[in-house]
Amino acid sequence: MRRTKTVSVTLALLGATLGLAAVPAEAGTLTATQTTACPTGWGSGTKTDDSATTAPVTNIRAGRHECFDRLVVDIPGGGTVGYRVGYVDRLYQDGSGTPIPVGGGAILEVRVAAPAYDPETGAPTYPARAGQSLPGVDLTGYRTFRDARFAGSFEGDTQVGLGVRARLPFRVTQLADRVIVDVAHNWTGAR
């Protein structure tokens, strides 16, 4: 009996050290379950970077992950690209001020400091139309994303409205030639 108690206490201490919670399943046996599996602490406040590029946006794509949904804006040759990403009550197109309806419980405005056209010729480099869904982006089955609308490209900035289920925490990451926006599935970090 004493040996069983020692083993149980040792397993519980080991589980606590590893961030696991020991939960008795039956008398004399233990199972371990993970308490928090996803990153937390991203917050929902506006995130910005003032870098700019003349390299154009060529693609916008989305992906599903276990802990978050992801939007990627590709800017080949852009290097570090600036952005402003934050929640808005309503999405308005730059220049005209035209409201653009975006579905979902909250709207995340994604503004990237890169044009969606060739600055030399004015020819579009990303085949989207203002107010329309992003070409090639199908959000069926996404846990967080509900809608993605192209708002336009004006004076070197490209603007997208991302409809999400609710106002949720998000992060923005810059990699060479792209800006990545991850929106968590929830606030708790639970899968």
Residue where the block lists tokens 């890169």: 114
For the domain 47-184, what is the CATH code? Answer: 2.60.40.3500
Could you write out the DSSP letters of every residue in 76-103?
TT--S--EEEEEESSEE-TTT--EE---
**CB distance 87 to 107 below 8 Å:** yes
Convert the pLDDT of each residue in 17-75 to its tens digit. Answer: 334 333 333 334 434 444 558 987 899 999 999 988 889 999 999 999 999 999 999 99
DSSP H helices in the chain: 2-17
Q: 68-104, pLDDT tens digit by residue?
A: 999 999 999 888 899 999 999 999 998 899 999 999 9
- Give me the residue spans of the domains in the chain: 2-34, 47-184
Give me 61's structure tokens. Answer: 């794509």
| First vs last C-alpha separation in the chain | 37
pLDDT in tens, 131-170: 999 999 999 999 999 999 999 999 999 999 999 999 999 9
Q: Which two tokens stand for residue 167?
A: 């106002």
Nearest to 100 by CA among 39, 14, 160: 160
Stated pTM of the model = 0.80
CA–CA separation, 130 and 24 (whole Å): 56
